[in-house]
Each structure stands twice: as structure tokens, then as C-alpha cells.
Chain A
Amino acid sequence: GESVGLHLPTLSVQEGDNSIINCAYSNSASDYFIWYKQESGKGPQFIIDIRSNMDKRQGQRVTVLLNKTVKHLSLQIAATQPGDSAVYFCAESPNQAGTALIFGKGTTLSVSS
């Protein structure tokens, strides 16, 4: 079964708002986490990643926060734009040789103008 899940299947925001997409993971052996964005009919695109020795990592308009105590991951998107509308997946990588990424179910972000 999946060990990565997202708290909300959908999130609707207004253009210009900040968006927060949450993800919970349950595999204590996971030490590397990734966020992907998938637009309709396309393959997922890498957004940002974080290793377990960090609590926060910032990119361009995106920030990922990692709380290892409660096994929680979040993606914050600043000044959300209509082009940010997509499905967002978190993925975890257990620190075990030969394992593949484990993906959550995804959150659909809808941005209205």
C-alpha cells in the first residue's frame, strides 16, 4: 500500500494568494522527498526536493517544509498564478537499496483569476 498521502484532494485559490499543499508520509526510512507538478495530459515535472537533514528549502516562488517529527511535508507556492493549476504529487524515497519512489495520490490545485 501507499505510505505517502496528501491531506486534501483539491485546493482552490485566487490568483495572487499563497497556496499550501500538504503531504503525510509514514515510512520512517524515507530521507529524501520530492514534489512534482503534473499538468493535464502531460508527464509530471520536478519542482523541488529536500533531504531529511534539512527542514526547509526554497526555490523560485516555491518552498518545501519538512517536519520529520510528525512525518509531514508541505509545498508552499507564493503568489499563485493560473499557470500553477495542476495536480501536485509528493514522493518519498526510502533509504533502502533498490527501492523506487513512493508517490502520493495528488492534490489538484485550481487557480481562479
Chain B
Amino acid sequence: DGGITQSPKYLFRKEGQNVTLSCEQNLNHDAMYWYRQDPGQGLRLIYYSQIVNDFQKGDIAEGYSVSREKKESFPLTVTSAQKNPTAFYLCASKGFLRTDTQYFGPGTRLTVL
């Protein structure tokens, strides 16, 4: 998993509750990313950050929020506004150059009951 940790591996929440997914990397990477993956589907970009204290919306940012206060951390909050939050969430990071290899964490499977 290339020095990227995501916790917890499985997460259960009741409908209407906000939940924060953790992503930490010790690779000294500048850029970090959050993706959502639904069963049998590809990766959809939620948010990304290319530098501390800055982030951009991806293709499906509605109902999610992020922060990037530290280079090594990029937590994702799934809010109650996200209509269908049950999914597999993947965090990734890469170096400053566009062609630096992007590495992924092991993922967090969120189930909203």
C-alpha cells in the first residue's frame, strides 16, 4: 500500500450521521486524492489536494467535505447530505510532478444502515 494508511477498514454508521474517514501518508507526497468505488464500478474522484491548505472538487463532491491542514493527512467527511454514502472509499497520493506514480491506500468500506 505504499505508505498510505486508511482507517478504519470497515465503518458502519446510521443514516443521517456524519462520518470522517482517515487517510495518512508517510511518503512526503504533495498531492492527495479521494475516490469512491461502487460494486463493479470504476473510480470516481471526490476531492483532491495538490498542496497543503488547498483542495479542489472532483466529479462527485456533493455531500462530502475535506481538509488539508497537514501534508501527510487528508481526511474525508461524508455528510448527511450525501444521498447514497454506502461505498468503498479509496485515498491516494502522489508526488509533485504530474507523471509521478500515484499510490493508493487499502480503502475503507463504509456502510450506512
Residues in A lying within 8 Å of B, measured CB to CB: 2, 32, 34, 36, 41-46, 49, 51, 89, 91, 93, 95, 97-101, 103-106
A100 and B90 in contact (CB under 8 A), knowing A32-B98, A45-B104, A106-B42? no
Residues of A within 8 A of B1 (CB): 43
Starting from the known contacts A44-B90, A51-B99, 4 additional A-B residue pairs (CB-CB under 8 Å) come to A41-B109, A44-B104, A49-B101, A103-B43
Contact check: which of A2, A43, A46 meets B90 at CB < 8 Å?
A43
A46 adjacent to B101 (CB under 8 Å): yes
CB nearest to B45 among chain A residues: A100
Residue of A nearest to B99 (CB): A32
CB of A46 within 8 A of CB of B42, answer no
Known: A100-B33, A100-B58. A34 touches B106 (CB 8 A): no
Q: Indicate whether A2 sits within 8 Å of B42 (C-beta atoms), given known contacts A32-B98, A41-B107.
A: yes
Q: How near does chain B come to A73, taking the closest CB pair, in angstroms? A: 15
Per the bound structure, the CA–CA distance linking A37 and B13 in Å amounts to 29
Rounded to whole Å, the gap between the CB of B92 and the closest CB of chain A is 8
CA distance A49 to B58 in the complex (A): 23
Give A8 to B109 CA distance when docked, in angstroms: 26
Q: Which residues of A have CB within 8 Å of B104?
A: 36, 43-45
CB distance from A84 to the nearest CB of B (A): 18
B50 at the interface (CB under 8 A from A): yes
Interface 1/0 per residue, B15-59 and A, CB below 8 Å: 000000000000000000101000001110100101000001010
| Cα–Cα, bound, A2→B45 (Å) | 11
Asked if A46 meets B103 with Cβ closer than 8 Å, knowing A100-B48, A103-B42, A103-B43, the reply is yes
B65 at the interface (CB under 8 A from A): no
Residue in chain B with minimal CB distance to A96: B98
| 23 A–B pairs (Cβ distance < 8 Å), ordered by A | A2-B42, A41-B107, A42-B106, A43-B1, A43-B4, A43-B90, A43-B104, A43-B105, A44-B90, A44-B104, A46-B101, A46-B103, A49-B99, A49-B101, A89-B42, A89-B43, A91-B102, A93-B98, A98-B56, A100-B33, A101-B102, A105-B41, A106-B41
